[in-house]
Structure 1
Amino acid sequence: MTTPSPTASLSSGPVAPPVERAAFLLDFDGTLVDIAPTPASVKLEPGLTDTLLRLRDLCGGALAIVTGRPIEQIDHFLPGIPTAVAGEHGLTLRRSLDGAEEPVTAAPLPRDWIDEAHTLIGRHPDTSVEHKKAGLVLHYRACPEAEEPFRHAIETWLSGQDVFEIHPSKMAWEIRLAGIHKGKAVEALMAQPPFAGRVPFFVGDDVTDRDGISAARALGGMGYLIPDDFPTAHAFRSWLAHYVETA
């Protein structure tokens, strides 16, 4: 294998650090898998598991998934693959394959918000509510007309308090604790082995990933957004497979 340059430019797509110097921090939905009608219905593209396992080995274990999903959902779809997982935009963190999920101290979501969320989805067919440790998501991918009623309801609930915030996502509105974002998750992961001392490489697809991109760049690394830097999630996965094959 030839001696790598400071960054590796592949046949198409952005540059990346040499794999022996890189730390990979990757979003899940819309990046490693295509967006699906429901969170449970996503499918792994053939070959992705092998690509991620080889990537993890090549980069000395510096592979993390940084996601809005709970950690246990990543374990379901990618069992035993990422070294670390930052779940719920960094609210929860597990730093190693054999490590425990770090305890979370979080304010509980008011019960009346939860009840009203279920009432809302009952009024709008093909919508759903996703519960998290300190928040919830109202999904309306199959019912776009629910976007504004959902937003209005959440803004009404959040009025007059500063503990929770509303965040837009792809065909969804999310309530989560104020100050929680993927940028802080990237910083926390990069502060400890096997990530510390490496060049962070973050890829995501949504507005919630912009904080991760900014943090990776601030730490001297690279951050890319689909479709700005890769036209599609499939294009990124093809790029990643080529990166691994030629490392």
Structure 2
Amino acid sequence: MNLPPPIDPARHALFIDFDGTLVDLVDDPTGVVISPEAVERLGQLQAACAGAFAVVSGRRIADLDHFLQPLQFAAAGVHGLERRDQPGAPVVPLAGPEGLDSIRVALGAGVVAEPRLRLEDKKTALVVHYRGFPELQEAAIRLVSAAVGEEPGYAVMKGDNIVEVHLAGMDKGKAIEALMAHAPFQGRQPIYVGDDTTDEFGFYAVRKLGGVSIKVGDGATEAEFRLASVDSVHRWLGVARREASQQQGETQS
């Protein structure tokens, strides 16, 4: 396993996925838990990096705020279709929900016909979940493909026990590039940590920017480095937090 280098708060910008990276994947996405200690550690790293820290997720930013409270942070949600460029700033949607209305109706009918599938409506994206029923993978793919049909302008993404559709033109890599274009990220070397196929866009983007790409778990990847699990991520972040605290103490002394 090619382990990642430590975070250097003086020159790095940290971008990190949520599910499968900061929290373990669970059957019920509303049931994930992150410890207060881990949230505090993220806040310390954010401060050490002079604010150059963002969560980049397929979840809505409102959901990230709920799980990571009281931390305030920059974020890209729904694979970049929502963005908050700095802590406390308003969330800016890059697309409206009405563009998915016809697909929303078709997917709603499909999950009624197969109740083991679950439809999550993120407003700017629609997700069909089949976690717990791996045998329904092909059914989920067929359902979303049929709902989209030949209509242009939509992106279909396959992730960990999900199939998602949203308006084309945005992904996690583009979201990272947009955040990197302004302070406090601008001029720093980006690090991106993620676990899923949807994170490959982020890995590609940070490699193009001369950054550090870190895959969590197994599987083929564009990333240069790898961490074994969510626990490994938190241990790696903990080392970075301790080193940053020591550097701050030495500076003050």
- Quick check: 57-66 or 220-229, which moved more? 220-229
1:237 aligns with 2:242: no
What's the CA shift for 1:104? Answer: 2.5
Contact 2:100 2:125 in 1 (8 A): no
Contact 2:21 2:194 in 1 (8 A): yes
Distance 1:45 1:124, change over 3 A: farther
| CA RMSD, Structure 1 to Structure 2 (Å) | 1.8
2: CA distance between counterparts of 1:102 and 1:131? 18
Equivalent residue in structure 2 for 1:193, among 180, 183, 190: 183
Distance 1:103 1:153, change over 3 A: closer
Contact 2:95 2:124 in 1 (8 A): no
State the Cα deviation string for residues 11-58 of structure 1 (Å, max 9, x = none): x93113411111000000000111111211111145211210110111
1:13 aligns with 2:10: no
Alignment-mate amino acid for residue 238 of structure 1: R
Equivalent residue in structure 2 for 1:174, among 153, 164, 185: 164
Contact 1:124 1:143 in 2 (8 A): no
Contact 1:130 1:136 in 2 (8 A): yes
Alignment-mate amino acid for residue 89 of structure 1: H
2: CA distance between counterparts of 1:103 and 1:225? 28
Distance 1:55 1:164, change over 3 A: same
Distance 1:109 1:147, change over 3 A: farther
What's the CA shift for 1:148? Answer: 1.1
1:124-143 to 2 correspondences below 5 Å:
124-143=114-133
- Quick check: 235-244 or 58-67, which moved more? 235-244
* Percentage of pairs with the same residue: 35
- Quick check: 118-127 or 29-38, which moved more? 118-127
1: CA distance between counterparts of 2:100 and 2:182? 35
Equivalent residue in structure 1 for 2:108, among 105, 118, 125: 118
1:184 aligns with 2:174: yes
State the Cα deviation string for residues 54-90 of structure 1 (Å, max 9, x = none): 1011111111000001110011111242520101101
Alignment-mate amino acid for residue 246 of structure 1: E
State the number of aligned residues: 236
State TM-score, norm by structure 2: 0.87
What's the CA shift for 1:108? Answer: 2.4
What's the CA shift for 1:120? Answer: 2.6
Alignment-mate amino acid for residue 244 of structure 1: R
Aligned partner of 2:39 in structure 1 is 49
- Structure holding more helix per residue: 2
2: CA distance between counterparts of 1:190 and 1:115? 37
Aligned partner of 1:30 in structure 2 is 20
- Quick check: 237-246 or 183-192, which moved more? 237-246
Alignment-mate amino acid for residue 24 of structure 1: L
Distance 1:142 1:159, change over 3 A: same
